[in-house]
Structure 1
Amino acid sequence: MSLAVETRPVDRPLLAASFNYLKPMKDRAANYTYEPPAGVPRSNVVPDPHRVDIYDGRAIDASVDREGFALVEHHSAVRDFFNDEEVRSVYYPEAERLLKAQTGASRVFIFDHTTRRRSPDEILDSGRRGEGQPRGPVGRVHVDHTERSGPQRVRDLLGDEADGLLKHRFAVVNVWRPTKGPLEDAPLGVCDARSVAPQDLVETDLVYRDRKGETYSVTYSPRHRWYFYPHMRIDEVLLLKCYDSRKDVARFSPHSAFENPLAPANAPPRESIELRAFLFFEDQ
């Protein structure tokens, strides 16, 4: 089934928008997922906004292992993506089959999911609100895992199996989709992993009550090549590479929500869901 969406030539930007990068800093960057102790800031990350050209993802044949992302048509039987039980019982198995078919992974382990609802007039920032409240879109450039935290998350969640699994190639891939469409408000921008240099990625603590994770914040570079997929439907998903142990493929694809200047004034606030999955390749 072809996608009935007008596209622009691949060498001409579709639009320009502002992205919140990380302002270079001397201290270790850190974000808390909860209200930290008195005197400790929720985040010491200072945004460094840059207006960048964004190209039409529909004009290229992107690959998870080349650019670090890919658009895939996928029809789900889920009726309510904000029902956690239904998501785990129906959507997780669907996504596992999809990821195996699209990547050739021998095993897929989906380890969590996040639903997001943007409040009307909400300013894009970290995407985190008070405890118990639904998350909003993340309006800062980041990658969910790092060179260190990717393997560590496998050890955290898979215990005794981890050492054997980590002897082979493994990746972390997100499955991102709008739950209302076509999506116009606060779409997801994705950066071609080939345009990102190692020095652009900055280890950033992600502090939970019971553990400390690590993500990459990203400093600005004019080399970065940004894309988005206009008018995403609820039967389309974006596969996004957040880690790969293999060195000769896309490994880390930065991403961020952004204010879409092409969105109509009455566009409904964004709703979306993302799954995070380990992909294991026993033959690599």
Structure 2
Amino acid sequence: MTTTGEFRYLDPASIAPGTKPFAKVDGGPPSFTFTSRRRSVANLRDALTQLASTESGAGNFGTDIDVSGFALYNSPATEKAFTDDAAVRSGYYAEVEALLRSKLPGIAHVEIFDHTIRRRDPSAPRQPVQQVHVDQTPAAAEARVRRHIKRPREEADALLKRRYQIINVWRPIGHPATDFPLALVDWRTTRPEDLVPVDLLYPLHHRTGGGDDDDDRGKERPPEPVQDVNSTEGYEVRGETYGVAPSERHKFYYVKDMTPDEALFIKCFDSWGQGQPKGREGVAALTPHTAFEDPATPKGTKGRESIEVRCLVFYEE
């Protein structure tokens, strides 16, 4: 089964020569414009059904994150409401770490550094993102290690010599994600030239604890209206993502009616990913993804609610 969608890509022609584009984490206007493409979107469940009759696990599309950059698992969570920030950080973070360790062998350490709850509701501070993107660039991944691993520099250097990843663990909240589902691009259909580094700007009001406040969680609010879309007043650069340029090669997948009992692993970075200095041939490096409007969604469907938890994952070797 397939559906279709209009996908918003970064338009390279909208970037002035010699400038670096930026986007705002709170959904404020970016410095570039988008270009849309209509694409077919395959249901990942169909591929998994075919695998179920043979063998699933390591080396298989849809169940091994190293193949395409994403993997789907059945994993009901004890946490259901996701309305108490303290409960999310304690109980649900522990559930996410346990799930990572159960599916990815050889993990030495997991550092969960961020989570975002999105609700398609006009009053919600964070909405589903309709832009094909990758959460982290390699430079941003290393910066995340140095920012969040509170150890002496030499210990952080040692961790960076091992295999490490940034994985986004994504789950619907409360009801199936039929409305504005998440689409994923098979990494094998991307090329390095598709990826455009974009500065990620955070609003200064996140620094409620002063200049050393590195914790952005729970500080979301809708962006202030601006007259000049190119203005960065009230923001600072605290990350780097990849915008994605359009390509006819890209192959999209989604999980039709994904339920809260299911979890997606979305690979944002892998030091063993193909193309990295220590990369291995055929190992997925990243996963472009985006929310999209499925024309097959029935009228009156409840707005999508979801949580994404971003994790630094370090391995024994």
Aligned to 1:70: 71
Residue 145 (1) aligns with residue 146 (2): no
Residue 51 (1) aligns with residue 38 (2): yes
Q: In the aligned structure 1, how far is the partner of 2:29 from the partner of 2:184? A: 26
Question: Are the counterparts in 2 of residues 21 and 218 from structure 1 also a CA contact under 8 Å?
Answer: yes
Q: How does 1:156-171 map to 2 (within 5 A)?
A: 156-159=147-150, 160=152, 161-171=155-165
1:272 deviates by 0.4
Which moves more between the two structures, 241-250 or 73-82?
A: 73-82
Question: Which of residues 111, 114, 130 in structure 1 aligns to 2:113?
Answer: 111
Question: Are the counterparts in 1 of residues 187 and 284 from structure 2 also a CA contact under 8 Å?
Answer: yes
Number of equivalent positions: 255
Q: In the aligned structure 2, how far is the partner of 1:237 from the partner of 1:258? A: 18
Q: In the aligned structure 2, how far is the partner of 1:181 from the partner of 1:244? A: 31
Question: Are the counterparts in 2 of residues 180 and 270 from structure 1 also a CA contact under 8 Å?
Answer: no
Aligned to 2:51: none
Unaligned 5+ residue runs, structure 1? 1-7, 9-13, 36-40, 121-128
Q: In the aligned structure 1, how far is the partner of 2:311 from the partner of 2:287? A: 15
Determine what percentage of the aligned residue pairs are the same residue. 40
Residue 197 (1) aligns with residue 191 (2): yes
Question: Which of residues 214, 237, 258 in structure 1 aligns to 2:263?
Answer: 237
1:147 deviates by 1.6
Aligned to 2:23: 31
Question: Are the counterparts in 2 of residues 21 and 141 from structure 1 also a CA contact under 8 Å?
Answer: yes
1:101 deviates by 1.2
1:34 deviates by 6.0
Unaligned 5+ residue runs, structure 2? 48-60, 205-235, 273-278
CA pair 137-64 structure 1, distance change in 2 beyond 3 A: same
For 1:88, the aligned partner's letter is R
Q: In the aligned structure 1, how far is the partner of 2:316 from the partner of 2:162? A: 6
| Cα distance per residue 1:215-255 (max 9 Å; x no partner) | 00000110001000001111001110000000221111000
RMSD: 1.7
Which moves more between the two structures, 247-256 or 158-167?
A: 158-167
Q: In the aligned structure 2, how far is the partner of 1:32 from the partner of 1:266? A: 30
Aligned to 1:123: none
SS of equivalent residue, structure 2 residue 73: strand
CA pair 165-20 structure 1, distance change in 2 beyond 3 A: same
1:256 deviates by 0.2
For 1:147, the aligned partner's letter is P
Question: Which of residues 22, 29, 51 in structure 1 aligns to 2:10?
Answer: 22
CA pair 273-50 structure 1, distance change in 2 beyond 3 A: same
